[in-house]
Amino acid sequence: MAKKTIVEVQIDKAIVPLHIIQEMRASVRIAIGRKYATLRVPYLMTPTQKKKQTERAINWIEDALKKDVRIYNRFEVKKYETGDTIRYFGEEYLLHINDSESSQKAKIKGNTITMDIVLDQSKAEIQKACQTLLSRVLAKRVKEKFSEIVYRLNDLHFKKEINAIRLKNNRSNWGSCSGKSNLNFSTRLLFAPQEVIEYVVIHELAHLIEMNHSNRFWTLVAKACPSYKLSEKWLKVNGHTCDF
């Protein structure tokens, strides 16, 4: 039966959860994913051997973050404090954080976001809670305004039926389109400039006609957004900055 322990590896402002898994295997394996790193070691390894392999894994993680800024940015922890400001979808919000014993929630009044956060937990857990709450409360705040952009661009270029528009705390893509004409967009997208936001909207609207990335699809995108390659480049270079 596998045994798992978790330690946090901190490199500058980045914190990487390291999952150490002891299981029935003969070799040692280290890997780093989107949310955590994994060290797999033989179940019968002695505590001394396990400590040595953990130190080796920590050094390996440190090298990986130093060599690839994209990996570092993935695990960089933002510190949220009362008095911070967040600029989102053209609006600026003042942040106020209350220490909570159990429940975690957020609300917006005017342009002030108040969050109740359990501060007696790890930095990574606090960051995750803040990201989830901010994404949720801001998505609700801007949904109507964002939907107006989607419908405007659809009426202007595509004139297709839209079943639903959703803003989700999605980190794997900027947007998606389902076969049922549901358009999903990452809440991270709304940190981007207006022209980049509109490109991603056009990209997903074009999928209402072409559910692929064929030449026909890109012709539709280029017709509606001639400068789309500049927006793609912006996302590739600056996308890591679009986050809570």
Q: Which of 53, 75, 97 is the last residue of a domain?
A: 75
Name the pLDDT band for 18 (thresholds 50, 70, 90): very high
pLDDT at residue number 6: 93
Does any domain span residue 80? no
- The pLDDT value recorded for residue 121 is 87
Q: How confident is the model at residue 93 (pLDDT cuts 50, 70, 90)?
A: very high
| CATH code for position 161 | 3.30.2010.10
Tell me the one-letter amino acid at 76. Answer: E
Q: Are residues 157 and 40 in the same domain?
A: no
pLDDT, tens only, 180-218: 999 999 999 999 999 999 999 999 999 999 999 999 999
Same domain, 108 and 55: no
Are 42 and 28 within 8 A, CB to CB? yes
38, 101: one domain: no
pLDDT given for residue 145 in this prediction: 97
105 pLDDT more than 90: yes
pTM exceeding the 0.75 threshold for the entire prediction: yes
- How buried is 85 (Cβ within 10 angstroms: 0-12 exposed, 13-18 middle, 19+ buried)? exposed
Structure tokens at 243: 């986050």
Q: What's the rounded mean pLDDT across residues 126-136? A: 91
Is residue 69 domain-shared with residue 148, that is, in the same domain? no
What pLDDT was estimated at residue 1?
A: 72
Please give the average per-residue pLDDT across 147-164, as a whole number: 98
Residue 141 has pLDDT above 80, yes or no: yes
pLDDT above 80 for 124? no
Is it the case that residue 240 has pLDDT exceeding 90? no
In the chain, the number of structural domains is: 2
Choose one of 15, 41, 75: the last residue of a domain: 75
User: How far, rounded to the nearest angstrom, does the alpha carbon of residue 69 sit from its chain's CA centroid?
Assistant: 16
Boundary of a domain, candidates 14, 47, 75: 75
| Predicted pLDDT of residue 244 | 87
Q: DSSP assignment of 150-204, as one string?
A: HHHHHHHHT-----EEEEE--SS-SEEE-TTSEEEEEGGGGGS-HHHHHHHHHHH
Rounded CA separation 187/62 (Å): 30
The verdict on 97 and 34 lying in the same domain is no
Domain co-membership, 224 together with 175: yes
Q: Which residues constitute the domain of residue 20?
A: 3-75
Same domain, 57 and 112: no
Q: Is the pLDDT of residue 123 over 80?
A: no
Q: Is a pLDDT exceeding 90 seen at residue 13? A: no
